[in-house]
Amino acid sequence: KQEVTQIPAALSVPEGENLVLNCSFTDSAIYNLQWFRQDPGKGLTSLLLIQSSQREQTSGRLNASLDKSSGRSTLYIAASQPGDSATYLCAVSSGNTPLVFGKGTRLSVIA
């Protein structure tokens, strides 16, 4: 059974810092991996989707990488801002089954 782990569970950084969030998964036979953002009390918003054949995806200050063979993905946030404060979740799609989510990393960017 696929399991997704995110480390660290919480992270606090000063504004302007570049940071990396980590995601690992146990079964490398995935279709894709997605990163989501969740603000307190809200639903999830998709940030980036990486297909299994891709190595990375970029959107603005966000860059997500995927190393399928090692079961790892990273989300890189450049020049962090207080507005980036949220919980970031990764999820993997394996075959014809629903997404499996990690528990998320709660990010605080301090002004």
Torsion sign across C-alpha atoms 59, 26, 89, 16: negative
Cβ closest to other proteins, residue 71 vs residue 104: 104
Nearest-approach distance from CB 64 to other proteins, in angstroms: 14
| Tokens at 95, concatenated | 């075959």
* 99 touching other proteins, by CB under 8 A: yes
- Closest C-alpha to 91, from 12, 8, 11, 30: 30
| Tokens at 10, concatenated | 């919480």
* 95 touching other proteins, by CB under 8 A: yes
Contacts of 61 (CB under 8 A, 6+ apart): 77, 78, 79
Please report, as residue ranges, which positions from 48 to 67 form the binding site for other proteins (by CB under 8 A). 49, 51
* 46 touching other proteins, by CB under 8 A: yes
Contact pick of 41, 60, 69, 83 for other proteins (by CB under 8 A): 41
* 31 touching other proteins, by CB under 8 A: yes
* 40 touching other proteins, by CB under 8 A: no
